[in-house]
Amino acid sequence: MSVKEIIDGCIKGNKNSQSLLYDKFAGKLYGISLRYIGKTAEAQDVLQDSMIKIFRNISKVKYTTEESFLSWMKRITVNTALNHIRDNFKNNKTESLFDNEYKSITEQEEYFSEYDELLEHINKESLFKMIQDLPDGYRTIFNLYAIENYSHKEIAEQLDVSVSTSKTQLFKARRILTAKINEILEKKLIMKVI
């Protein structure tokens, strides 16, 4: 059954088509949820909420290719994850999801340069785990900027923060990731010497 046929079935409310759609795309969408949320149970909740929104709005999507349809579902999942993060933040009544310590552009560029070089020496699974372990604010902005390709202006608008807050959170996320990658590489080097 083609994706177009599955979508048409979902529009008609066909349970089999809904099941096929879920089976085909849930893994990818769960990966996005987990990347933003960091905790498996909460990421599963975000996935379920995303799928409900997808099924409710599937008749509004203009299908052109499987890639464009997947992109539409990814946007829904990212927005659902961001809403989940915001709701948790409000419910926990913490002072701020983001810290606002600002670093100069020069300091940020030094870390970005080292970070970019180190990425070549780490596998995707290890990097994914490191991203999951970042504090919520850092992880959210890192995902939006580095993976979803949002600009700092778009992130600021999406999260209702300043552009400098977005830049600072990205800087701090990369600083943490750089330190963790260096730690792994040092351990590998020690193991080779032994």
- The mean-pLDDT minimum among 87-91, 94-98, 127-131 falls in 94-98
The residue among 5, 2, 3, 10 whose CA lies nearest residue 60 is 10
Q: What percent of the chain has pLDDT over 90?
A: 46
> Does pTM surpass 0.75?
no
* pLDDT tens readout for residues 8-51: 999 999 999 999 999 999 999 999 999 999 888 999 999 999 99
What is residue 95's DSSP assignment? S
The residue among 118, 124, 113 whose CA lies nearest residue 177 is 118
The residue among 174, 164, 154 whose CA lies nearest residue 103 is 164
| Chain mean pLDDT for the chain | 83
CB 181 within 8 A of CB 189: no
Please enumerate, as own/partner, the contacts of 105-108 that have beta carbons within 8 Å and a separation of 24 or more. 107/171, 108/167, 108/171
Which carries the bigger pLDDT value, residue 47 or residue 146? Answer: 47
The residue-averaged pLDDT of 82-96 equals 68
> What pLDDT does residue 119 have?
57
> What pLDDT does residue 97 have?
53
The Cβ of residue 155 has, within 10 Å, a number of other Cβ atoms equal to: 22
Domains of the chain, CATH where assigned: 3-92 (1.10.1740.10), 105-193 (1.10.10.10)
pLDDT at 93 over 50: no
Rounded Cα–Cα distance for residues 59 and 17 (Å): 14
The residue-averaged pLDDT of 122-150 equals 88
> What pLDDT does residue 128 have?
85
Please enumerate, as own/partner, the contacts of 71-78 that have beta carbons within 8 Å and a separation of 24 or more. 73/25, 73/29, 74/28, 74/29, 74/32, 76/50, 77/29, 77/32, 77/33, 77/46, 77/47, 77/50, 78/32, 78/36, 78/143, 78/144, 78/148
